[in-house]
Amino acid sequence: MKKHTFRKLSAMLMTLCLIVLSVMLPVHAADTERTTGTIKVTVDPNFEGIPMYLIEIGSYENGEITISPEYQALGITIDSLNSNSGVIQAADAATAYARENNIQGTVGRIDMDGEILYKDVPLNKLYLIMQPIGQEIVTVQPIILTMPTVNADKQTIYDVPVKAKNVDKENEMYKGAVILNKVDEEKQRLEGADFTLWRKIYYTDPTKISDDLETGEDDTGTYYWKHIGETLTTDSNGQISVSGIPFADYRFIETAAPDGYILDDTPQEFTISKYGTIKVENDVYVKDTGSPVILTVENISMTDSSEPESSEPVESVPSTPEYSEESEYPGATSQTEITNSTAAPGISVTANEKPVWEITGQDITQFIIIGVIVAVSLVVIILLFVTSGKKKNKDEQ
């Protein structure tokens, strides 16, 4: 009888263990079964609206990196990714190759907080993050990283934070200039026309956009127009000039016409995509170096008999206003230095990473179920003991 009871108890305990294991295993297997992650890139907020591509350039499995053949041909090797300088050189070479061959990837846009979040990124890959083709000057340094990555504590990180470095935020080669010429039907220059300057900002989070802003959508994405600086007025030579403008899409809108002329508030859109500077020559603003944008806007007089206003060149010309990042981004002071960090070997990722495993609401529910199962099993075992005891007494009688 004792052997029979022992066998029954053993069978019950084994069953209980199997039940507990079947419930617990899915909790711990959740991480191992993960197939995607996220990459959060942080850059200078002044680059809001700039797109960045996420491009696969190799694989990363079991801690081993395999570089795609086309990128190996560029001289990118595993050894070259073992130092910061090597990663930077490899990223520059990969970016040049992708631009030349018009390779596109998953597009993300820098939001007003200076962040890009790539979701559902496939794991076990080596990635390049770069500015897309079509932008002549790179303002954000390209990045190479693995997915997932391992932090300094040897934890596997599936939600990877990366800080991107500005190529050279002080370099004037990343800025352009614009000259607006205001004329009448006879091409005579008009003084006293007021204009506002606006920048097109692409965004992904509509909750951060004020309701009073003008928004729209084009082939590039969803955007809004952001007012920059103060009202600009054409000088005695009918000109407005602005220097040091970051690469982006802009527009002038006329808010007040010269006396005797009809207001034309048609937006005058233009794109700053090339380096350019201007200078004063014979008291008139003209191109100096590079490729500044030059616009001509015409006003129509109110009556046919009105004599168009003509201005003689003046001895002094107002200084060209510099594009002000502080005026564009209220409350901004100096730009903060941002350091580059990737997940390639030899480079650590720094941020508030999530723990490898943490208890969630679902886990608590599972633990409750386990507790109930254990409690029921114990009751069954106790009942078996009681039943066996009674049976034994009866047999002895």
Q: How confident is the model at residue 192 (pLDDT cuts 50, 70, 90)?
A: very high
Whether residue 32 is predicted with pLDDT greater than 60 in this model: the reply is no
Q: Are 293 and 276 in contact (CB under 8 A)?
A: yes
Instruction: Point out the least confidently predicted range of 160-174, 190-204, 316-330, 346-360.
Output: 346-360
Describe the crossing of helices 361-396 and 2-32 by its angle, rounded to 10 degrees: 170
Alpha carbon distance 114, 41 (integer Å): 8
Where do the structural domains in the chain lie, given as residue ranges? Answer: 2-31+359-396, 34-163, 172-328
Number of neighbours of residue 248 by Cβ within 10 angstroms: 18
Are 229 and 249 in contact by the 8 Å Cβ rule? The answer is no
DSSP of 121-176:
EESSEEEEEEPPTT-SS--B--EEEEESEE-TTS-EESEEEEEPPBS-TT-GGGEE
Q: What confidence tens digit (pLDDT) does each residue in 70-80 have?
A: 888 888 878 87
Residue 7 or 118, more confident: 118
Helix/strand/coil (H/E/C) assignment for every residue in 257-326: CCCCECCCCCCEEEEECCCEEEEEECCEEEEEEECCEEEEEECCECCCCCCCCCCCCCCCCCCCCECCHH
Asked if CATH classification 2.60.40 holds for the domain at 34-163, the reply, yes or no, is yes
User: 274 is written with which tokens?
Assistant: 């090339």
Tell which CATH classification among 2.60.40.1170, 3.40.640.10, 2.60.40.10, 3.40.630.40 matches the domain 172-328: 2.60.40.10
- The pLDDT value recorded for residue 190 is 95
User: Which pLDDT tens digit goes with each residue over 59-96?
Assistant: 998 888 999 998 888 888 788 788 888 888 899 889 88
Q: Could you tell me if 145 and 39 are in contact, meaning their C-beta atoms sit under 8 angstroms apart? A: yes
Q: Do domains 34-163 and 172-328 have the same CATH topology?
A: yes
pTM: 0.47
**Number of C-beta neighbours around residue 240 at 10 A:** 24
